[in-house]
Structure 1
């Protein structure tokens, strides 16, 4: 599962990240410092699960959970609230939280939560269709079949998406926002106007401002913006287990 940790306290984020990295079944981890940043990171990272603190400035955890459910493509990420207070439990479960953890949580309690989350995700997977294996692109009275596995990166062009492959760059009449959920978790945004296939990424180069480019198979490059860099790096790198 892909997990986003949201907490305004850095030590709390680090502690939960350490516990999660030691558990099996975690594919990628990302962090956000508050509810506002959580919405930005989640749009690029597309988490399966969000561990949310409740008491945060500006946008609290309950508000952030509602915003995530309203703005992200379906299905919305599963939510686990992590807080030092037990007074929000009723509100949390009314917000359809999968679990409610009290700080400081331990590894055994977290493991039970992850088992519950994995069960929910398996149920979703059994109901959800797999990512598209191919796309059909109309070209001058003909139809081209483009295998999604051949797509290096995607780029918006007005009302079209450019499908960059080693054999060409056909135009698909679609929007990037609507197409990405259909392609599955193997594709991720790297820029407001671009997304890459994770399996094709070879190197990431950034400048002093945090922007840069993503180098793909065959020397192809896609633009990278600072907004999406952290989530992209988290998706590419498996979590490291911390030593005891």
Structure 2
């Protein structure tokens, strides 16, 4: 069984690695110092289990768990943390177990034994039951499945969300990705960072440069760093003007 260990403290990672090394049929295939590194390492190494801390910089364990659950073959998640107040949130993201530090060998062995009984297909079936808003707090990253695997886009880099039938195009500083979410859910989660300019578009407030009237008569929005513009629907023009006055 392949294990990935994620903790922002080197000593904590070293201890978990030593415990795993004493167990037969289990090996540590990668280590990570935060949730972002864990997601990237999981994409490369395809571990069966991730031992995950919760409070970490850049991306915490809960957000990383939500991202990993979107993988085509999600690993089993076992949280290893010094804080017991996150237990309910951990099981909301379908964690297999929740171990308090200092993690004992017996507890870890029992948790890994339970993980061994789950097939990847079973873990994928559980992940598919997760709601769209998997993390207990607002995400800092948007996760998308691409031909390169699971990609993470920082929310602060997103220029706009554009709905097109079933999928949402996420335009960001490095290009664009497609996600299977709804504008309604994105607006509910990021409503203070983005503004609705059309029934199919949410735009990042930080990147709005100006609004102008096009020769065809409709209004369009210019965004900093982008050559393309977005159409502003009539019903949103007045509200957008008010928002821009506050920027």
TM-score, structure 1 as length reference: 0.49
> Which structure would you say has the larger RCO, counting Cα contacts within 8 Å and 6 or more residues apart?
1
Q: Who wins on radius of gyration, i.e. which is larger?
A: 2
